[in-house]
Structures are given as structure tokens and as C-alpha cells.
Amino acid sequence: MNSRAHGAAYTISENASLRTRNSLWVEARAALLVEVRQEAALPELLGFARFKTQAPLVLGAGSNILFTRDWPGVVLCLDTRGIEVIDEDDAQVRLRVAAGERWHDFVLWSLAKGWRGLENLALIPGTVGAAPIQNIGAYGVEVAEFIEAVEVWDRASGRLARLDAAACAFGYRDSLFKHERERYIISAVRFRLSRERALRLDYAGLGEELAAMGVQQAGAPQVAEAVMRLRMRKLPDPARIGNAGSFFKNPLVAAPLAQALRAAHPQLPYWPEPDARVKLSAAWLVEQAGCKGLREGDAGMSAQHALVLVNHGNASGAQLWALAQRVREAVRARFGIELEPEPRIV
């Protein structure tokens, strides 16, 4: 095979750099990089012997992954585009969105059409196809609330399939696709949005931001604007400094442990969950453990937001992961809490 082969539907490259394919700007290489522009090419590509014997690493915008090494197999990037209205009436709309669509662009598109629901999820980096994998969420809203079904290539059966929301087993930053990465390749996501859905304004800071904007009666576009302002102020821009957003999940703990921690640390932010567990602020834990702004070479924790692992220039993935491990150990030693990384670690 040539080092690079072009076609209308896809491009195949050997020994390809992934530095521009991950938002942490880590230099890593793929033995084979397949960039797919047309969804119809998937059955042909996935019928190749190499795909049958080895699961590809599927990469969207690379905003939720940390490469600690090169990838010895196939990296599959779905650069497909397209938003299709399946049906709509005065109250709601059903949409089919290609996996390669940029998430934030889709959010803005939906708001421009007058459909509510995704405004709290504005400015989250990544692609539509990646959104269900970790059930992206922000400001009190999770994407699972709007997903009707996920279309996938099922490597076990060798065919396209459609999984309804229940089959996707969505949880907090979790889904079926996290646990069966090698089986499913997401090709499109089906959404159901409403014109009259009640706005979610009760998350900390959102109401205050709307007030600061002079908004007295918010609509969905104003909520999205407030969310974008909050995110831009709190989180470093990956276009300016390599990062993957919040690197650690907010830990979910049993209520007695949360009560004990709150007794010892009254300022610890927490949020009771419907299942009787309590969600704790990972950012507060990291900051109190003395790790906000921590830096080792070009690997660092952001001074802007305690949860964000950043690449100040040429840090390797291994160096970034070593620093993340140091932060986890500091939190474990101070609070007895084990932080889990949010991005996928390769």
C-alpha cells in the first residue's frame, strides 16, 4: 500500500501523525489512519480483513483522549457530515445527525431553528458521534435526555444496527459504548428536541450570568450565550493551549462518606443524586490538594481551572499521564477519594 491513498469517500494514510487529531496536542502516530467522509463507505472499509481481525480506534475531534504511546493498529476518523429532519410538528422534531458533525455547530444550528434542549450543552468540544459515548453533560443537562437512538456498525454481527436510548445504558459520563468500545462504531445519532421544553436555569452560576447579561426573561439562545461565557471564562481555550477539558470526573460517593467529608470540610461543594449517592466537586478536591497550577516541564494543571490538564508546549502523553497520576495520589492522600479520568487513556 502507498503511504497515502485518496478516494472520494475516504483517505488511508500509513504511519500518520495524530498531533492535530487530539486537543492535548500530543505527538502520537497511527500505523494506519483512515479518514471517512461518506458514511456509505463504512461497510466496504469494515469488510477489509484488517478491520475484521483488529478493532480500530475510533477518533472524533480528539477532545476526550490522551495518547501515552503510538497506536499500532488502525485509527478510524469519521469526518461525515449531514443533519436530516426525520419529521417535525409544532411541538417537536426528530433529527438524524452524522457522527462527524461538530457538536457545538449542531447545538447552534438547532437553536437557530427554534428547538430547545441543547442550550446548556453549548461549546462542548467534540463531534456528535462522540457525544453518546460518555453521555456528555453540563449545567444540569445530559445529552441522553434528547437521544432517541444511536446508529452503529456492530462488529459482532457485521452489519449496521440502531440502538434505542434504553439499550445505550446511559449513566453519569457513561454508556454501553464505553464498555464495548471494540464492538460498536457510531455512525449517526437520532435526537428528539422540543420547541417548548422548560429551560434549566438552576445550575450554580447560570442564573447569575444571565443577570449579568441583563437578561430578565431568558430564551434558549440567551441560555446558550450564558453557558458559552461561563465556559470561556472558566476553561482554557484548546486552540491556545492543549487540553481535553475537565480531566477528572466528579466522584460519586455513598451518603455517609459525603457527610463525613462535609463535617471535616464544610466548604466542599456537593450535589445529592437520585440514587442516594452524592456527587462531589473534583475541582475543589484537586485545588485543596494543592494541585491547581501544578507544572512539571510542559505538563501542567491549569491555573485557570483546577480540573484541566494542559500541555504547555511539547509534553508527551506519558508525561501528562504521569502528572495526572500525581494529582490523583495527592487527592487520595488528602481525602481518601479516588478520582477517575474523564478522557480515554490510550
Pick the closest to residue 125 from 45, 27, 35, 21 (CA basis): 21
One-letter amino acid identity for 168?
C
Cell of 330: 495527592
In whole angstroms, give the CA distance from residue 336 to residue 260. Answer: 11
Cell of 322: 504521569
List the catalytic residue out of 21, 116, 173, 328.
173
Q: What is the DSSP string of 87-119?
A: EE-SSEEEEEEETTSBHHHHHHHHHHTT-BS-G
Active site residue 342: yes
Active site residue 195: no
Coil, helix or strand for 236?
Answer: coil
List the catalytic residue out of 23, 175, 246, 281.
246
Active site residue 173: yes
Burial class (CB in 10 A: 0-12, 13-18, 19+), 106: buried
Burial class (CB in 10 A: 0-12, 13-18, 19+), 73: middle
In whole angstroms, give the CA distance from residue 56 to residue 59. Answer: 9
Beta strands in 111-170 (DSSP E): 137-138, 141-142, 147-154, 159-164
Contact (CB, 8 A) for 128 and 100? yes
Our separate counts of H helices and E strands in the chain read: 9, 21
In whole angstroms, give the CA distance from residue 327 to residue 68. Answer: 17
Q: Which residues are designated catalytic?
A: 173, 246, 342
